[in-house]
Structure 1
Amino acid sequence: MRILLAEDDAETAAFIERGLGELGHVVTRVAGGENALHLGATETFDAIVLDRMLPGIEGLDVLRRLRAASVRVPVLVLTAKGGIADRVAGLDAGADDYLVKPFALAELAARLNALLRRPPISDVITRLAVGDIVLDVLRRDVTRGGRPVHLQPREFALLDLLMRNAGRVVTRTMFLEHVWGFHFDPQTNIVESHLSRLRSKLREGFADDPIETIRGAGYRMRADG
């Protein structure tokens, strides 16, 4: 596996580079955000390990720019910030996984292997249509009745999950696990607030709400849109 490592702490970077190298991975190491952005956008890697607090361009800004440039390489964010809000910010920026310092090299390697086991983009559905709503995964855009619907990344992910399960109930737990990567309930209204904004945007200019609230169970997108 060819890995881009963006980490400005020399001791941590050397530890990761040596450990992953011993496991047979080829590691390209950079210490600043500008170099991370340049290499990530112009060279081919199997995965990127990205420190959040980089000099120059902050790690999440690097990640946002890579995603905006359609770089879809799996990205694991490393950070000393382990709060829920920090993890949500990393996932919202486009991270595929999030590991809090200090960490064990074995866990880092296992998480990278898990990211590489995900099916390649060519093996998954990249365009969804339910009723008059169309979602294009590759272009990251949504239309309803041919009119663009401008969604934030997490709203897009919510709609993607609902459309893939059209006609079936999607529970709060499913949203938390698939959209935020939480395997526990953080006891916040994060799902409800994002869904409220999504529904408002989808209803704008239309009389009906394509998303149903199933009391005590979750939410369901009508199969006919």
Structure 2
Amino acid sequence: MNLLIVEDNRDIAANIADYLEPKGHRLDFAYDGVQGLELARSAEFDAIVLDLTLPRLDGIELCKQLRAEQCCTPVIMLTARDQLDDKLLGFGVGADDYLVKPFSVKELEARLLALLKRLQSAGQASAMRVADLCFDQQTLEISRAGTQIELNPIQRKLLQYLMQQSPGVVTRAQLEQRVWGDHPPDKDILRTHIYSLRNAIDKPFARRLLHTVHGVGYRLAEKGEE
């Protein structure tokens, strides 16, 4: 598994690493909520282990923002709180499971594996398709007319959101929020990524799928305004 651990207690983070890394799992760490949110937005993870009480941005708000941005990465919350209201609050903002401190790292791994298996069997990571363009959200494989397409993480996020909204129009502001949150870059950065995405998914093929809606944004569809 490729995991993001958002935990400000470095001893707990180290214990998780000591157990999971020798078993072949890949871990990235964040020690506050803002750093965790930035990592979750910039890379692809199989799951996020998220402490509830974090400096700068707490786990509830972090999870809420990810779900608002349509990030469907599974989240297990860690907390010292064992009250039902706290658990309901966590589930209410989109957490998938809850583990109360102190906990066994072996149990954490078992819950992560069970969670991923459950979500996959429920079809939450199924493939999306627009015309002959296919995006498998489980394997992150992208293909068009049987040809594999390689994209970087930002391009994948843009494509995923455009496919989710297809054939609707997505504004530039929506795309910037989806990828960069409340800290959008210069507008030329989005334009550059869209240009590269269009070259990857459209240029080698006869039909265009990624269309510019002038003054508004973009849409991914078989026909669109240019």
TM-score by length of 1: 0.57
CA–CA distance in 2 between the matches of 1:202 and 1:4?
Answer: 29
**May I ask how many residue pairs the two structures share in their alignment?**
169
Q: 1:168 to 1:133 in 2, by over 3 A?
A: same
Q: Deviations over 1:14-43 (max 9, x none)?
A: 7xx8xxxxxxxxxx54169665534683xx
Aligned-residue identity in percent: 20
CA–CA distance in 1 between the matches of 2:34 and 2:215?
Answer: 34
CA–CA distance in 1 between the matches of 2:4 and 2:150?
Answer: 32
Unaligned runs of 5+ in 2: 63-76, 78-89, 98-117
- The answer to whether structure 1 residue 210 and structure 2 residue 209 are counterparts is yes
Q: SS state of the match for residue 143, structure 1?
A: strand
CA–CA distance in 2 between the matches of 1:165 and 1:185?
Answer: 20
- The answer to whether structure 1 residue 103 and structure 2 residue 60 are counterparts is no
CA RMSD, Structure 1 to Structure 2 (Å): 4.1
Judge conservation of contact 2:33–2:59 (CA < 8 Å) in 1: no
Report the equivalent of 1:221. Answer: 220
TM-score by length of 2: 0.57
Report the equivalent of 1:93. Answer: 43
Amino acid at match of 2:30: V
CA–CA distance in 1 between the matches of 2:193 and 2:177?
Answer: 15
Report the equivalent of 1:147. Answer: 147
Judge conservation of contact 2:5–2:27 (CA < 8 Å) in 1: no
CA–CA distance in 2 between the matches of 1:6 and 1:184?
Answer: 20
- The answer to whether structure 1 residue 194 and structure 2 residue 193 are counterparts is yes
1:72-91 pair list within 5 angstroms: 77-78=30-31, 91=41
CA–CA distance in 2 between the matches of 1:198 and 1:186?
Answer: 17
Q: Deviations over 1:2-61 (max 9, x none)?
A: x99677xxxx527xx8xxxxxxxxxx54169665534683xxxxxxxxxxxxxxxxxxx7
